Chains A and B, each alone.
Chain A
Amino acid sequence: MSTLTKFSPIPYTGPAPTNREPYVPAEASKMDARGAEIASKVGGLAQETGQDLPTFVVEKERIVDVLRSLKNDLQFTLPLECFGVDYPDRAKRFDVVYQLYSIANNERVRLKVRVGENENIPSSAPVYQGLDWYEREVFDMYGVKFDGHPNLRRILTHENFQGHALRKDYDPAQRWLLTEEGVAKIIPKIDPRFEREESDSDYERVTLNLGPSHPATHGTLRVVVTLDGEKIVGADTEIGYLHRCFEKMSETHSYQQVIPFTDRLNYCSAIINNVGYCMTVEKLLGIKAPERADYVRLVLSELMRIGDHLICIGTNLVDMGALTNFWYLFQPREEMYGLIEACCGARLLPSYLRIGGLAVDVPPNFLQLTQNLVSSMPRYLNDVDKLVRTNRIFRDRVEGVGPISAQDAIDYGFTGPCLRACGVPYDVRKASPYLGYDTYDFDVPIADGGDTYARYLVRMEEMRQSLRILQQAIDRGLPSGPVMVDNPYVALPPKEKVYNEMESLIYHFKLIMHGIQPPVGETYFQVEGGNGELGFYIVSDGTKNPYRVRARPPCFSIYQAFAKMITGQTIPDAIAALGSLNIIAGELDR
């Protein structure tokens, strides 16, 4: 009997998807009611009903006022993101979508501003600092201009790039060459705290490039700093060196084919990206993965989270000269990748999940291997903790380095360990549990100070909490049953059926050639990634390719604040702070 997919020999009797059905989210009526409540409190909102979040269409003139009153009156303090969607057939072709989150009330809201091709829209960066880069990205990708934006230039593509890549009428076959002259000459703005007359000092100020290829940046990040002696008096960051058109490519590939692309977002915790993407599409399809698949997803997510933190702490310590810890931490990570490889045949980029479940069932000794890992992991963590936690050399290097206040962190849209290091206990696994996280007993670690040391403590404790979750999961045991939904419009039939039955062969052929066709609509779903809230926003037009896939990269918000965090500190401090933020360029630049 196949454990792969319970596949009945009689043809599937459920409804066949007709690919122009509208998507009706399960929680639509609840969200509509909450939306009406919000609309009654804030003026200028035209509600859009039948969505998975309270959704409003706002006139572009009013957007800043609306955002301000949502932030001040309704406590939507955390700007999740701002992105565009292009509908070329409409008179006002672009949707600029804002998503906000309220930590106090644990709710989300989505605002849409419709703009035409040559229209400008007022910048909301004065309301939320964190929307600064997101608006630059909308400008870069769609050409929507933001009035009053402090620094509206391209962010992911380079200066010689012509056109706006995510517009539907942009031809992706074009190649744009960046010449020496085109490279942005970035001169950081001097922080007002360090303004001085030229004659005040004997020393000249020096502007220095850190990166994009610098061993301490762990990826292609460019930081330009102006130094006064050893002190950084102004900093600016430049990103986009690893931009691989994830969102544009997703629009030309089928839903299943996007999964290997999501691996390459945060490549240190690839399975979590898979989980986020697959669960978003499953939400759009209105299906739920079987219990066994959910269990495996949870176990592998937690392992990947541990792996992500191991890399972050390990490399951060290497940057500070503590190489030994790197080896102690990479050994369990290596063994973890061995387990992932045993499940799906690849280590770093597993592509293990499929929409509707898993690619194949886990190996028979899966739980045993996980137990071995969980039992051996604390030893390594304790070794490292013993080496550095109370070590004064380390403490002097990290305490008070790269600090950010809780208020600033929220305003920048921080999520994940970096936000929790400021003392804000926001964790998607607790706030909106998925995969059954609510049935597990674990704590959300927080720390005070928001500095590099606090981030170290939070990550270290989070790994221990993940081990706790894993131990509970192992004790519960692997649920029996299939690992893939029993729906031939989503899941490939098992191979023995494909070889021997006409019906299954047809389903197989249809699914490969015509793909999964979700109903028409849009949805957003979020998971707790290694660095914070990883969300996917997907628009479906009923065809086999997604109309728009938007990944909400947690690094993007965090890296935005980096320049501010290091101003007033020294270069070694900047390196230590950068390592502790765990910026993954693959996710940052997509």
Chain B
Amino acid sequence: MTVAQRTYLPQVIQGMFVTLRHLLKNLVNIKKLPTISYPEVKRVYSERFRGRHILTSREDGTTRCVACYMCSTACPAECITIEAGEDQRTREKFPVRYDIDLLRCVFCGYCVDACPEDAIYMTRDYEMAIDTRARAVVGLRDLVVPPNFPVEPMGWRPYYGDMDKHGTAGGTGLGQPLRSAPYEDEAAPNPDVYRGT
């Protein structure tokens, strides 16, 4: 260590300048602060975000899921419970019960990859706070969305190959907008958040 380094003061002052520079920079660019005032402002995640699941529906309002158990087989956390039923008229299988235990779920997206029916998607909804464990188990009532539900800007979903169209990097903070529009300014209701009836 040099003499200057051995006496504390020059180093301390030099350090102060670094912090002062940051302080001034942040004061000038107060709009570009890296922190977000959550929950007033929410962060936008990319179109691949693996959040809470939904089950999509066909045009006629029936759920696309055919209770084939592929998702529950692929699930490494064993959080999906399915009971299959059979439509007496069409002889189609459909889920009588479809429960996802969100406390067990590790949000790996394997269920979406495994689904051969385009039935399960993951949304960008990450606000899943609950007050009891029982409410963490979401069933058909919470998961199934109405027909023609807008899935386009949603989270992890089956990709049809063309990556240029899908999967733009949403909010990385790197030249992309880090923050969403303030909550109250949002024109359309957030399509990602659907909580049944």
Contacts and interface: CB of A to CB of B under 8 A. Distances in A.
Given A383-B18, A386-B14, A3 B163 contact: yes
A480 interface: no
A365 interface: yes
Interface string B1-39: 100011110011011001100100000000000100000
B49 interface: yes
Contact of B74 (A257, A359, A496): A257
Contact of A345 (B15, B122, B173): B122
B164 A360 contact: no
Interface in B101-132: 106-110, 113-114, 116, 118, 122
Interface string B73-90: 111110000000000000
Interface in A255-279: 256-261
A335 B172 contact: yes
Given A324-B19, A345-B156, A257 B110 contact: yes
A342 B110 contact: no
A335 B176 CA distance: 11
Interface string B153-173: 001101111111001111111
A2 B12 CA distance: 57
Query: Is chain B's interface secondary structure helix, strand, loop, or mixed overall?
Result: loop
B168 A492 contact: no
Contacts of A495: 118, 158-161
A361 B163 contact: yes
Given A345-B49, A386-B15, A495-B118, A363 B168 contact: yes
Given A492-B113, A509-B116, A365 B168 contact: yes
A58 to B, nearest CB: 37
A335 B173 contact: yes
B174 interface: yes
B160 A494 contact: yes
Contacts of A344: 48, 50, 109
B70 to A, nearest CB: 5
A343 B48 contact: yes
Contacts of B63: none
Contacts of A339: 169, 172, 174
Nearest to B164: A364
Contacts of A364: 163-164, 167-168
Interface stretch (A59-67, A198-206, A388-396): A388-396
Given A360-B48, A360-B159, A513 B169 contact: no
B47 to A, nearest CB: 8
Interface stretch (A109-117, A366-374, A406-414, A554-562): A366-374
A482 B8 CA distance: 57
B76 A253 contact: yes
Given A363-B163, A369-B175, A508-B116, A341 B11 contact: no
Given A392-B1, A392-B5, A256 B110 contact: yes
B118 to A, nearest CB: 7
A505 B116 contact: yes
Contacts of B5: 390-392, 395
A171 B1 CA distance: 60
Contacts of B98: none
Nearest to B74: A512
B28 to A, nearest CB: 16
A496 B158 CA distance: 9
A331 interface: yes
B45 interface: yes
Contacts of A177: none
A508 B160 CA distance: 15
A81 to B, nearest CB: 25
B46 interface: yes
Contacts of A361: 163, 167
A345 B109 contact: yes
A480 B89 CA distance: 50
B73 A512 contact: yes
A341 B161 contact: no
B160 A360 contact: no
Given A4-B161, A341-B172, A513 B70 contact: yes
A333 to B, nearest CB: 11
B100 to A, nearest CB: 16
Nearest to A365: B169
Contact of A342 (B11, B114, B116, B170): B170
Given A257-B74, A360-B163, A363-B169, A345 B50 contact: yes
A392 B10 CA distance: 10
A387 interface: yes
B149 to A, nearest CB: 18
A1 B161 contact: yes
A434 to B, nearest CB: 24
Nearest to A346: B50
Nearest to B160: A496
Contact of B161 (A3, A362, A492): A3
Interface in A302-359: 324, 328, 331, 334-335, 338-339, 341-346, 349, 351, 359
Interface in A480-511: 492, 494-496, 498-499, 505, 508-509
7 contacts: A257-B110, A261-B76, A351-B106, A393-B11, A496-B160, A505-B116, A513-B70
Given A2-B161, A359-B109, A496-B160, 6 more contacts: A260-B76, A334-B34, A338-B173, A341-B45, A364-B164, A387-B18
Which 4 residue pairs are nearest across A and B when measured between Cβ atoms? A2-B161, A338-B172, A342-B169, A345-B48
